[in-house]
Amino acid sequence: MLIVVVVVLVLARFLYRHRAGRCTSTRSLNGKTVIVTGASSGIGKATSKDFARRGARVILACRNVEKAQAVADDIIKVTGNSEVVVQELNTADLKSVRSFAKRVLEEEPAVHILVNNAGIMGPWARQVTSDGLELTMATNHYGHFLLTNLLLKRLKDSAPSRIINVSSVAHFFAWKLKLHDMNFENRFYSSWRAYNQSKLCNVLFTRELAVKLQGTGVVANSMNPGAVGTGIFLKNDGAPTWLITFMNHALNIVLQAAGKNCELGAQTTIHLAVSEDVEGISGKYFEDCRETWCSWVAKDPEAARALWEVSETDVNLRPGEMFYRYF
């Protein structure tokens, strides 16, 4: 029986990786500045390494500065590009987001590519940040929403520029957006429900952002990296039962054995950041370097507009930070 399982996993791995999309663009990023959030491991690390190979100035925006610096040193060694720097950013902390954006605006004359990649599968018990936001939503959606808005003027001044929001197939499992209870204060919470909702928000945010950026030279797209063995399910703290812990480990083993590696998982992000084929395309959802269909909820322009308004309130976006109004 074990032999059969191994054979099936190996075959699935071969077929899945064989059909996985790959960025074919050889475009150089010399003279370009790129920001990648959550770049200290997994897909973010692989994405950053590719950008560095293309000659970009790459800013690794990470919560764990020490870990990120080790990654930066490795990328510099492998690529020979010394323009790989680390800046502290915790997307779950709005104060950290504002501090990071302030440093970028003071130190970087241009920002050409913003990759909102950082994400977590939140804890089993609901946790609230110092800003009163549910931790998963804060990390995966609210922090990136605020960061993008704070950098919009610099991105517009640097046009043509691109914004890539890393979502997930998990957004299909968020069947309804509870706009009056985005942080699970008055309804049942689970880490999966929060994660699925946050990934839906990534797609809806991208859709409305693209509308607001029309004619500015800045494009925004969202994407699904696919099934990638990043170990995200093992970071889910405090599983309530041994069965759930076992299932998390089993799922991680399956992804490691049959899914994409991080380099393949990064290909769609890289494609959206550099490819000539997506020049001028905005507000779309991609997988395997191709535009594909998203959930019916994620296609709703009214939901996207309403989410934007709720997000502005929840992150306390100030009038002087609403740069999209001046485009």
Catalytic residues: 195
Pairing of strands 84-88, 57-62: parallel
Sign of CA dihedral 147, 324, 303, 117: negative
C-alpha 177: how far from its chain's center?
19
- Tokens 């859709």, residue? 207
Count CB atoms within 10 A of the CB of residue 94: 23
| Residue 84 dihedral angles phi and psi, to the nearest 5° | -120, 115
| Encoded tokens for 38 | 């959550």
- Tokens 């704070």, residue? 150
Count CB atoms within 10 A of the CB of residue 324: 19
Sheet containing strand 218-224, edge to edge, reads 84-88, 57-62, 33-37, 113-116, 161-166, 218-224, 285-287, 290-291
| Residue 76 dihedral angles phi and psi, to the nearest 5° | -60, -45
Pairing of strands 33-37, 84-88: unpaired
Give the span between the Cα atoms of 73 and 61, in whole angstroms. 14
Give the span between the Cα atoms of 227 and 27, in whole angstroms. 26
Task: Tell me if 124 sits within 8 A of 78, measured CB to CB.
Answer: no
DSSP letter assigned to residue 28: -
**Burial code of 205-219, b = ≥16 C-beta within 10 A, e = fewer?**
bbbbbbbbbeebebb
